[in-house]
Amino acid sequence: MTRPAPLGFGLGLRPIYYEEIISTHPPVDWFEIISENYMTGGGRPTAMLERVRADYPIVMHGVAMSLASTDPLDVDYLRELKALAERVEPAWVSDHLAWTGVHGISLHDLLPIPYTRESLDHVAERVMRAQDFLGRRLVVENASTYVTFRESEMSEWDFLAELTRRADCQLLLDVNNVVVSGFNHGFDANVFIDAIPVERVVQFHMAGHTDNGTHRIDTHDQPVCEDVFALYERAWRRFGPVSTMIERDDNFPPFDELLSELARLREIAARADAEGKRSEAA
């Protein structure tokens, strides 16, 4: 399978940074948008996106496809998403291995599933139908989760690997989510990374989280922590150059701080690449 060319090091496009991005043209390789924020009509969100899009590649990341829900797929939502993708021409479109609600209700959260054969059949079929509708391959992200279900029959990483094979989809590997879920469920994050098929991963997410002692919560309101940087280095070594971005959704710092975090990711990647070349030469 051919992976799309890496876009480099990006950031989430958030309204608080619109003016700065447009006026200073910061050294960011690409931006990721939250799709739903631009599925509203028009006005400032659409206008700002058009301006940013003129200068940077864009990736669309959704939170509402509810791929794992047992409700019917929301065709109206998919139609709107497809229309947005036709306007934005993103490098790819992603959403989560999660559900947001059932019985016509949305909890507006990324909810966990049991990793069962039934879930796998269900989600794979829905990913395929969504891909058919959108006319493009979907990129599916591992979500942060806080509960482990007794019903699970396999690990999250085996579920994801098999999902990509069955649905022929790609993966957005959220490195922070692996750390958060690993802590919450007591698995080794390295095992997760090492089990994911290399050829399926097209994007990394990086973010900060909150450590509550007994469990960690994926809050996106903190700088990226050392555990996540360390796992990122392992991921980069395994998956090679993969488009990487930082999600920051609250407690917004000055934009320069995000650029500094991005610079650190570039350094980690460059170091891993250089060491890889040295070991190849040896």
Partner 1 sequence: MTLAELQARFQAGVLAGHEDGASILESVKNSRRADRTTLFGVYVNAYRLRFVEFLVADYPALRALLGEEAFQALADAYIDAEPSRKRNARWYTSRLPDFMRGDEAWRGNARAIDLALFERALTDSFDAADAESLRLDALAAFAPDDWPSLVFGFHPSLILLELSAGTTATHTAAVEGAELPEPSAGAEHVAVWRADLDSVYRALEPDEFLALSLALDGHAFGDICQMAAFRDESEASPERIAQLLTGWFEEGLVASAGVRGEKGE
Binding site for partner 1 (CB under 8 A): 36-37, 39-47, 64, 66, 68-70, 74, 76-77, 99, 101-109, 111, 113-114, 116, 118-119, 122, 146-151, 184-186, 213-215, 217
Beta carbon nearer to partner 1, 113 or 206: 113
**Shortest gap between Cβ of 262 and partner 1 (angstroms)?**
27
Least Å distance, CB 151 to partner 1, is 6
Closest CB to partner 1 among residues 109, 194: 109
Nearer to partner 1, 103 or 278 (CB): 103
Neighbouring CB atoms inside 10 A of 32's CB total 27
Cβ of residue 246: shortest distance to partner 1, in angstroms? Answer: 22
| CB-nearer residue toward partner 1: 131 or 210 | 210
Strand partners, 27: none
Work out how close the CB of 221 gets to partner 1 at its nearest, in angstroms, rounded to a whole number: 12
**Max CA distance (Å), the chain:** 59
Q: Is the dihedral of CA 174, 179, 185, 191 positive or negative?
A: positive
Least Cβ distance, residue 98 to partner 1 (angstroms) = 11
- Rounded CA gap, 24 and 30, in Å? 15
DSSP 105: -
Nearer to partner 1, 36 or 227 (CB): 36
d(CA 137, CA 273): 28
For the beta carbon of residue 246, count every other beta carbon within 10 angstroms. Answer: 25
CB-nearer residue toward partner 1: 149 or 277: 149
Return the bridge partners of 246, or none: 11, 206
Q: Closest CB to partner 1 among 111 and 163? A: 111
3-state SS, one letter per residue, for 214-231: CCEECCCCCCCCHHHHHH
Minimum CB–partner distance for residue 242 and partner 1 (Å):
29
Q: Which residue has the tokens 């049991």?
A: 114
Q: Which residue has tokens 């989560």?
A: 96
DSSP characters over 222-269: SPPPHHHHHHHHHHHHHH-S-EEEE---SSPPPHHHHHHHHHHHHHHH
Question: In angstroms, what is the minimal distance from the CB of 10 to partner 1?
Answer: 23
CB nearer to partner 1: pick between 113 and 268: 113
Q: How far is CA 69 from the centre of its chain?
A: 19
Could you give the C-alpha distances from 135 to 1, 129, 132, 191, 243, in angstroms and in order?
17, 10, 5, 33, 22
Both tokens of residue 61?
A: 């990341």
Residue 2 CB, shortest distance to partner 1, in Å, is 32
